[in-house]
Chain A
Amino acid sequence: MEDIFESSLHLEETHFEEGYSDGYKHGLVIGKEEAQQVGLRVGFEAGEELGFYRGCIEVWNFAIRVDQTRFSDRIQKMIKQMEELVEKYPVFDPESESVQELMEALRLKFRAISATLGMKLEYNGYPKMGQDPKEMGF
């Protein structure tokens, strides 16, 4: 007698728990899909930017080998420093705390080098220096 009434007394609670459990399972699936997409996109963007800097460094290094006198000591030092930064970027550890810092430092070095070389080259993928990170929408 008690059992029959038990289930109808706790009806609301049961429904709630069922609904919660359904939602949670659904959320896990959707969340994972979304996270995967975001991860792929962010990873791609970071990789693209990093690749761009690597490419620039390779071209510059080649130019230096061709004619070293055209590049001052300071510029050569800066390019070397930029190269070190690219090497240091933790490509396999996206959750490392230094990713943001390293990318910022790379962007700064790139701006300084291109300003001195008089190049108007710009990487179109990243947000402008003066932009508030909160303004960026994903």
Chain B
Amino acid sequence: MELYEGGCDLKLLETLEGHGDRVWSLAWNPATGASGTPLVFASCSGDKTVRIWEHTPSPSATWTCKAILEDTHTRTVRSCAWSPSGKLLATASFDATTAIWENVGGDYECVSTLEGHENEVKSVSWNSSGTLLATCGRDKSVWIWEMQPGNEFECVSVLQGHTQDVKMVQWHPTTDVLFSCSYDNTIKVWADDDDDWQCVQTLGEPNNGHSSTVWALSFNASGDKMVTCSDDLTLKIWETDNVQMHSGDGYAPWRHICTLTGYHDRTIFSVHWSSEGIIASGAADDAIRFFVGNKDGLVDGPTYKLLLKKEKAHDMDINSVQWSPGEKRLLASASDDGVIKIWELVSSSTGNGY
């Protein structure tokens, strides 16, 4: 895929300070960035707060912190996720709770608190219809919650299976199949049969899986491929049969198709697949890398190559990289250095996004 003729660069648009501790995670509000709505994202930190940032378009074209969600979590906020409608924000904390916030006229109110995990909650994810929420944590369990009227949540299932700390949960972009990855080196796929949730597949070393902690996973836009990143210094691409997935059985097996090795020399903490097909990774060596696949009629399937490496993107480990919604190729990155950076992938020749 030739993005720009003459290559591309990662241009730093802005550096956002404010958090008093490492920034763990970011989430873009999916209902922003289109038809005149300015882009909004949330960031969460070791300082126990969540900050909401909004883009002010021209002339100043800058980012301001519109709200600070504090005095609720009593420990680090590790992960945050917007509901698909953009109306609710879920925040997962080391204090073993997950808080649900609603934007009420510019102010964010905590409308619900989900308790149940024994200890640190590491990740939270909404399904594509916004009816289900999944959380996971150090207690090795994955919880599925269903939203009820009045912002109440009912626990649908508590899933045991991972043998270690579960680092991330992520719903499939089009079907209600849940994915989790863990310190136990595996990725598990969970599907339900009328409210009875089971682990339908485990992707581990025997399936060409990772040989160390799997930190994150991300789907491509069509949902037939998934990329995972690990402490084993590789990215792995997995594929499924999308037709079978939507055929009503609800689930089709995943298989490994490619391992990207030799590009990272420190743990990769975050990976995100853009809607256009560019994979961004954030690692412990403070660098952000971009990969693209090319399918040009190769017998063995697509190959992936390194598009760009941005060294010293931050002063410390990068914990999260997230592509923004909307048309521009914007990327937000969060780091142990307490700072958030907004980048744009631009053409080397024009210095712009076109």
Residue positions of A touching B, CB distance < 8 A? 72, 74-75, 77, 104, 108, 111-113, 115-116, 118, 120, 128-130
CB of B138 within 8 Å of the partner chain: yes
**A128 CB to nearest chain B CB (Å):** 6
**B160 CB to nearest chain A CB (Å):** 7
Contacts of B148 in A (CB 8 A): 72
Decide if B157 touches A130 in the complex (CB within 8 Å): no
**A53 CB to nearest chain B CB (Å):** 15
Q: A72-B154, A112-B155, A115-B155 are in contact. Are A130 and B160 (CB under 8 A)?
A: no
Q: A115-B114, A128-B118, A130-B119 are in contact. Are A74 and B156 (CB under 8 A)?
A: yes
Is the contact region of chain A dominated by helix, strand, or loop, or is it mixed? Answer: helix
- List 13 additional A-B contacts (Cβ < 8 Å) besides A74-B154, A118-B115, A129-B139: A72-B148, A74-B146, A74-B195, A75-B154, A111-B116, A112-B155, A112-B158, A113-B155, A115-B116, A116-B154, A120-B115, A129-B118, A130-B138
Interface members, chain B 108-136 (any A CB < 8 Å): 114-116, 118-119
Decide if B118 touches A130 in the complex (CB within 8 Å): yes
Decide if B116 touches A112 in the complex (CB within 8 Å): yes
Residue positions of B touching A, CB distance < 8 A? 114-116, 118-119, 138-141, 143, 146, 148, 153-158, 160, 195
Decide if A115 touches B115 in the complex (CB within 8 Å): yes
Q: Complex: how many Å from CA A77 to CA B148? A: 17
Question: Which residue of the partner chain B has the closest CB to A81?
Answer: B196
Contacts of A74 in B (CB 8 A): 146, 154, 156, 195
Q: Complex: how many Å from CA A75 to CA B148? A: 13
Decide if A116 touches B155 in the complex (CB within 8 Å): yes
Q: List 12 A-B contacts (CB under 8 A).
A: A74-B154, A74-B156, A104-B160, A108-B160, A112-B116, A112-B155, A112-B158, A113-B155, A116-B153, A116-B154, A130-B119, A130-B138
Contacts of B154 in A (CB 8 A): 72, 74-75, 116
CB contact between A130 and one of B116, B140, B155 (< 8 Å): that residue: B140
Question: Which residue of the partner chain B has the closest CB to A118?
Answer: B115
Question: Which residue of the partner chain B has the closest CB to A130?
Answer: B139
